[in-house]
Amino acid sequence: MRFLPVGEAPHREVEQDPGAETRVALCEHAVAGDPRFEVSRVEADRPGASYTVDTLRFLRERAPDDELTLILGADQASNLSAWREPEAVLSLAGVAVAAREGLEREAVLRQLGGLSGSEEIIFFGMPRVDVSSSMVRERVASGRPIRYLLPESVANYIESNGLYAAATPGGAA
């Protein structure tokens, strides 16, 4: 499984965004020691906004025989029709969707409104872990602990680099 930290998010700004290099480092800490996972710099090294469709095209050109599967939470999948070239995304890679609270399969499919290729989306079950990057940033900024919400090496990296902390002392993990 390959993790692709975003270089420049086109759809939102993150307050106190630490930048692409830090996102890459956080991902590397998260997957360290597990040979099933790797971190790719494809988006981090590309200038300008990172759009999934562009990344998938790049990956497809680089390795045309690879089977690509884009894994999304149901919250992101339900917004797929608003993405840049959503039908191209669906044609370039399989899409696998994990459940999120309040968004079941039928609700996601309704949101997609019959996009060509949406009938091929695979839904899968997994233990739910309702931890988001927004929640982690908010907890750090308010001085609440983040330990046990993410890998220890990631929590340590966030703390030692003062990421997301409020302007007052003691805002880290």
Q: Using one digit for the tens of pLDDT, what is the confidence trace for 78-109? A: 999 999 999 999 999 999 999 777 778 888 99
Contacts 24+ apart (CB under 8 A), 137-144: 137/14, 137/15, 137/16, 137/164, 140/164, 140/165, 140/171, 140/172, 140/173, 141/16, 141/165, 141/166, 141/171, 142/166, 142/171, 143/168, 143/170, 143/171
Q: How far is CA 144 from CA 41, 45, 68, in A?
A: 31, 33, 38
Full-model pTM: 0.83
Q: Using one digit for the tens of pLDDT, what is the confidence trace for 9-25? A: 887 676 667 889 999 99
Amino acid letter for position 4: L
Contact 97, 77 (CB under 8 A): yes
Q: Using one digit for the tens of pLDDT, what is the confidence trace for 123-167? A: 998 887 778 888 999 999 999 999 899 999 999 999 999 998 865
Q: Is residue 115 part of a domain?
A: yes
Residues spanned by the domain of 119: 2-160
Q: Is the pLDDT of residue 170 over 60?
A: no
Q: Is the pLDDT of residue 116 over 70?
A: yes
CATH of the domain at 139: 3.40.50.620
Q: Is residue 169 part of a domain?
A: no
pLDDT at residue 15, as a whole number: 65
Q: Is residue 173 part of a domain?
A: no
- DSSP state letter for 20: H
Contact 65, 95 (CB under 8 A): no
Tell me how many domains the chain contains. Answer: 1
Q: Is residue 172 part of a domain?
A: no
